[in-house]
Amino acid sequence: MIKKFLNKVFNKRQQAEIDINQAERDVVETAKKIPAKKHKINKSLISSAAIKTCEGLHNAGFDAYIVGGAVRDLLLDSKPKDFDVATNAEPEEVYKVFKRSRIIGKRFRLVHVMWGRETIEVSTFRGHHESKGDKNKGDASVNDSGRILRDNIFGSLEDDAVRRDFTANALYYNPKTEMVLDFHNGAADVKKRILRMIGDPVTRYQEDPIRMLRAVRLSAKLGLKIDKATEAPIAKLADLLHDVPPSRLFDEMLKLFLSGHAIESINILREQHLHHGLLPLLDVVLEQPLGEKFVMLALKNTDDRINAGKSSNPSFLFATLLWHEVLKAWEPHKKQMPMIPALYQAMDDVVKQQAKKLAIHNRFVSGMKEIWAMQPRFEQRSGKRPFGLLAHKRYRAAYDFMLLRCESGELPADIGEWWTTFADAKSEQRNAMLLPNTGPKKRRRRRPKKKPSNKEVSSV
Positions touching ligand ATP (CB under 6 A) are: 68-69, 81-82, 84, 164-165, 169, 208, 210-211, 214, 255
> Which is closer to Mg ion, CB of 111 or CB of 371?
111
Name the segment binding Mg ion (CB under 5 A); options: 28-36, 65-73, 102-110, 152-160. Answer: 65-73
> Which is closer to Mg ion, CB of 125 or CB of 323?
125
- Residue 169 interacts, among ligand ATP, Mg ion, none and using kind-specific CB cut-offs from 5 to 8 Å, with ligand ATP
Among 20, 60, 69, 74, binds Mg ion (CB under 5 A): 69
Rounded Cα gap, residues 377 and 181, in angstroms: 59
CA dist 402 to 303, 399, 431, 437, Å?
Answer: 18, 5, 22, 22
Name the segment binding Mg ion (CB under 5 A); options: 61-69, 191-199, 250-258, 288-296. Answer: 61-69
Binding status of residue 122 toward Mg ion by CB under 5 A: no
82 is catalytic: yes
- Residue 365 interacts, among Mg ion, ligand ATP, none and using kind-specific CB cut-offs from 5 to 8 Å, with none
Residue 202 C-alpha from the chain's centroid: 25
- At closest approach, how far in Å is the CB of 69 from ligand ATP? 2
DSSP letters for 181-230: EESSSHHHHHHHTEE-BSS-HHHHHHH-THHHHHHHHHHHHHTPEEPHHH
Name the segment binding Mg ion (CB under 5 A); options: 1-9, 77-85, 144-152, 338-346. Answer: 77-85
- At closest approach, how far in Å is the CB of 211 from ligand ATP? 5
The amino acid at 172: Y
348 is catalytic: no
Binding status of residue 73 toward Mg ion by CB under 5 A: no
DSSP 239: G
Name the segment binding Mg ion (CB under 5 A); options: 6-14, 69-77, 145-153, 410-418. Answer: 69-77
Rounded Cα gap, residues 122 and 86, in angstroms: 6
> Which is closer to ligand ATP, CB of 198 or CB of 281?
198
Q: Which are the contacts of 143, defined by CB distance < 8 A and separation ≥ 6?
A: 149, 243
Rounded Cα gap, residues 126 and 163, in angstroms: 7
* Cβ-proximal residue to ligand ATP, closest one: 69
| Cα–Cα–Cα angle for 321, 326, 332, rounded to 5 degrees | 155
> Which is closer to ligand ATP, CB of 110 or CB of 342?
110
DSSP 136: G
| Residue among 84, 160, 189, 227 flagged as catalytic | 84
| Residue among 63, 160, 165, 303 flagged as catalytic | 165
The amino acid at 266: I
CA dist 223 to 112, 169, 190, 320, Å?
Answer: 30, 15, 11, 26
Output 80-83 pairs: Cβ under 8 A, ≥24 positions apart.
80/45, 80/47, 82/121, 83/46, 83/47, 83/49, 83/50, 83/120, 83/121
> Which is closer to ligand ATP, CB of 165 or CB of 231?
165
- Residue 261 interacts, among ligand ATP, Mg ion, none and using kind-specific CB cut-offs from 5 to 8 Å, with none
Rounded Cα gap, residues 368 and 357, in angstroms: 17
Rounded Cα gap, residues 69 and 75, in angstroms: 10
* Cβ-proximal residue to Mg ion, closest one: 69
Size of the site for Mg ion (CB under 5 A): 2
> Which is closer to Mg ion, CB of 82 or CB of 370?
82
- At closest approach, how far in Å is the CB of 272 from ligand ATP? 17
- At closest approach, how far in Å is the CB of 400 from ligand ATP? 26
Return phi, psi of residue 86, to 5°: -115, 145
> Which is closer to ligand ATP, CB of 244 or CB of 326?
244
Return phi, psi of residue 154, to 5°: -95, 155
Binding status of residue 82 toward Mg ion by CB under 5 A: yes
Binding status of residue 17 toward Mg ion by CB under 5 A: no
Residues marked as catalytic: 82, 84, 165
List residues binding Mg ion (CB under 5 A). 69, 82
